[in-house]
Amino acid sequence: MAKEISSLSRAYLLLYNGILSNGWLIVLVQMVQHLVKTDGDYAGVYEAVALPLQVFQTAAILEIVHAAIGIVPSSAVVTFAQVFSRIVVLWPVLHYTSGVSATYGPVMMITCWSITEIIRYAFYVSSLLQWTPYALLWCRYTFFYALYPLGVFGELVCVYRAMTVVKNTAQFSFPLPNSLNVSFDFFCFLVLFAALYLPVFPHLYLHMIKQRAKYIGKPKTA
């Protein structure tokens, strides 16, 4: 977090991060409750957590603003890319494309998102309070080893399912000619969107490994 911020900014960030950490806990709890009640039926997971998931993931757009105005030290460009990718998967892919929520992708993705964000926002709160328990620090820079690739795989499952639907329905596509004289092919967009994971994921994953080595050292090997 930023070292020198105003008292008002600090209070706001404490509130924001505290709400988001608890919000993602609500998402996780509701998902687990659904799976318990339905004996592990993942087909209805998204519908069971849709409202809190939409609210708290969309609220992450504010993180772009935080970075842009300088109250957090994050890069606004990197933050935009990370938030934008999730918004695409959440809204046009998962929410508005028929059949995507019935796959196993959402439950994998939502599980990883929830655990990651509960820890991340709690870590930001502790950093603002200048007291971070080692257990929270360890979780912040260790759980990503599994959660990040599994979450990305879940996202790609959703995108792939959406591609098979969009290819046949031309959903969200605007071919020429039209009144705006602008064309857009949502299927091609999804292909490009999925392809970008190939160079971006290794870069961010290696960055987290470096961050782990910086803050808690390299993982021990047998």
Among residues 104, 145, 148, 160, the one annotated as catalytic is 148
Contact at 8 Å (CB) between 30 and 52?
yes
Active site residue 148: yes
Residue 184 per-residue DSSP state: B
61-69 vs 76-88: helix axis angle to the nearest 10? 170
Gap between the Cα atoms of 39 and 93, Å rounded = 26
* Tokens, residue 184: 């857009």
Q: How many helices (H) and strands (E) does the chain have?
A: 9, 0
Gap between the Cα atoms of 203 and 84, Å rounded = 17
Q: Is the dihedral of CA 126, 73, 17, 145 positive or negative?
A: negative
In order of 36, 56, 108, 160, 171, the CA distances from 164 in angstroms are 30, 28, 20, 7, 11
Contact at 8 Å (CB) between 103 and 13?
no
Active site residue 155: yes
Contact at 8 Å (CB) between 76 and 64?
yes
Active centre residues (catalytic): 148, 155
